[in-house]
Amino acid sequence: MAGRKITGGKYKKARKKKLFERTSQSRIVKLGEEKKKFLRTKGGNFKLVSLSSNIANIIVKGKAKKAKIKNVIETPANRFLARQNILIKGAIIDTEVGRARITNRPSQEGQVQAVLLEK
């Protein structure tokens, strides 16, 4: 029996989580019209997060280039995310320039960074 002592008694929590210990709501970055949001972080700072995006900054031969994202081809972390066109780190996307792999976490940052894949 999970969550119980060997005698069968229940474990009691010492205290609830404090506000700064709580996890934030998970954000899903979908392929679509560019949409961003400012979040207040600890210390009164602000973080710009992406909610949906259709543009990626792609590194092509050492130079950065902006390109429109057409489709999410494959997501190694979870194949169902690719079907829903969700942008996460490691996802392979189809762009105007060619296929690229997302190298950053769009849910934590305000844009999508990617590296062009060799054919």
Find residue 55's DSSP bridge partners. Answer: 68
CB 75 within 8 A of CB 52: no
pLDDT at 45: 93
Stretches where the chain sits below pLDDT 70 are 1
Domain boundaries, the chain: 28-116
85 phi-psi bin (left φ>0, alpha ψ -120 to 50, beta other): left
DSSP state letters, 24-58: PPP---EESS-EEEEEE-GGG-EEEEEEEESEEEE
Classify domain 28-116 by CATH architecture. Roll (3.10)
Question: What's the pTM?
Answer: 0.81
Q: What is the pLDDT of residues 99-115, one digit of tens each?
A: 999 999 999 999 999 99
The Cα–Cα gap between 13 and 54 comes to: 45
